Amino acid sequence: EFESSEALKRLPQQFFSSLVQKVNALVASGADVINLGQGNPDQPTPLHIVKSLQDAAENPLYHKYPPFSGHHFLKEAIAEFYKREYHVSLDPSTEVAILFGGKTGLVEMSQCLLNPGDTALVPDPGYPDYWSGIAMAGAKMTLMPLLEENGFLPDYTQIDPDRLEQAKLLFLNYPNNPTGAIATPSFFKDTVRLANRHKIAVMHDFAYGAIGFDGKKPMSFLETPGAKDVGIEIYTMSKTYNMAGWRIGFALGNASIIRMINLIQDHFYVSLFGGIQEAAATALLGTQENVKQLVQLYESRRNTLIQGLQQIGWTVDAPQGSFFAWLKVPEGFTSESFSELLLKKAHIAVAPGIGFGTTGNPYVRVGLLDREERLLEAVDRIDRLNLF
């Protein structure tokens, strides 16, 4: 048996792997589990994107090594997409990096900028992958509570001034996983101001960028004046186009950071299979009808779930975006004891909020990732527990 490096020892265990094991064991025992615990989109990739990969697979050009840091046509496609969707101009040569899913960019950002002992500001609750890169770099985290009364936006005035002085990197994510909150333009303006004042790099995770409800289109951080000077945004094909299994995403914005990310990518991976890059360009530049339908589907599921839960007496708020509902657990429970109860007594899997940080304790995260009949069945099973 070999001993791992110190850097690897610092990598936290995946909190949700034990939940997955419990769910799998229940399913194996024959239970009809409604699994709303994970963040895996349940819809298939639109057919025209799949067809694009099928055609591209026959192109011998793609059978050789791809160019380092990816095909230029895809960088141009993402720049065109940002122009069309967000009126943001990006130079495809210097301000776009192609990633193996958004995840790699989140971890690489810490590898690019943090030295041992440095500090990063991290949302609490937040997507656990932010912690991984910080831990590997030997850096420290300052948690920023996301409170309901602040619309789940961090309150920068509450951060200890010394911690702010030490901070080198700030992680943000809107539409937010797990709270379903959307950022406001004034919050992003404050973020740019803070970043400039304290020389902090911003990493905005826009994984759920396409998913806003009630007619609200989520804003890209790069729409904020000066954003490109202070940071980058991560976009991914996973949620917008149901391409989670294809592992393709992008880092966009500040040219010096994009250069660093590309350096890591070049050394570790070269780049993705060209056919996947071609299919991604097809998705970005082709019809967006599927995206519109997908948002309607999640919104309809959200309405069904939230109204159903309200009708059985659970006081819950509706998410504004993403495909998660963030529900405060009933009095007398913690996020873990409530998730445990739902799994054991109702065969419903949800993610305990504590897995996203300490502020997540009185909440559970419920994915809008099954058919409406199943969501209604979940409401029914919860009703039968007689908690409200």
Give the residue, chosen from 102, 133, 154, 231, that forms a contact with ligand PLP under the rule CB under 6 A.
102
Residue closest to 243 by CA, chosen among 49, 24, 22: 49
Q: Which of 52, 69, 191, 236 binds ligand PLP (CB under 6 A)?
A: 236
Residue 146: helix, strand or coil by DSSP? strand
103 is a contact residue toward ligand PLP (CB under 6 A): yes
Residue span binding ligand PLP (CB under 6 A) among the ranges 3-11, 100-108, 131-139, 143-151: 100-108
Q: Which of 244, 297, 312, 318 binds ligand PLP (CB under 6 A)?
A: 244
Q: What residues contact 355, with CB distance under 8 A and at least 6 apart?
A: 15, 16, 19, 128, 335
Among 37, 41, 70, 101, binds ligand PLP (CB under 6 A): 101
Of the two residues 75 and 103, which places its CB atom closer to ligand PLP in the complex? 103
Provide the minimum distance between the beta carbon of 231 and ligand PLP in the complex, in angstroms, as a whole number: 15
CA distances, 280 to each of 71, 79, 261, 288 (Å): 11, 13, 20, 13
Report which secondary-structure segment, H or E, holds 278: helix 274-285
**Cis before residue 125, ω within 30 degrees of 0?**
yes
173 contributes a contact to ligand PLP by CB under 6 A: yes
Distance in Å, CB of 172 to ligand PLP, minimum: 10
Q: Which among 118, 124, 123 is positioned nearest to 136, based on CA atoms?
A: 118
Using the minimum distance from each CB to ligand PLP, give the nearer residue, 211 or 346.
211
- Using rule CB under 6 A, residue 39 touches ligand PLP: yes
The number of residues that bind ligand PLP (CB under 6 A) is 13
3-state class of 188 per DSSP? helix
Q: Which residues pair with 259 in a beta bridge?
A: none
The C-alpha angle 61, 64, 65, rounded to 5 degrees, equals: 120
Q: Of 56-64, 95-103, 143-151, 158-166, which part binds ligand PLP (CB under 6 A)?
A: 95-103
The candidate with the shortest Cα–Cα distance to 78, out of 102, 111, 62, 45, is: 102
Q: Which of 85, 95, 108, 205 binds ligand PLP (CB under 6 A)?
A: 205
Least distance CB 206 / ligand PLP (angstroms): 9
CB burial class (10 A; 0-12, 13-18, 19+) of residue 330?
Answer: middle
Minimum Å distance from CB 64 to ligand PLP? Answer: 26
Tokens coding 172 = 């943000």
Rule CB under 6 A: say whether 238 interacts with ligand PLP.
yes
* Shortest distance in whole angstroms from residue 261 CB to ligand PLP: 14
Q: Applying CB under 6 A, does 177 fall inside the site for ligand PLP?
A: yes
Cα 104–Cα 109–Cα 115 angle in degrees, nearest 5: 130
Looking at the Cβ atoms of 39 and 319, the one nearer to ligand PLP is 39
How do beta strands 140-145 and 119-124 pair?
Answer: parallel
Nearer to ligand PLP, 245 or 313 (CB): 245
In whole angstroms, how close is the CB of 61 to ligand PLP at the nearest point? 26
Which residues are at the interface with ligand PLP (CB under 6 A)? 39, 101-103, 127, 173, 177, 205, 207, 236, 238, 244, 249
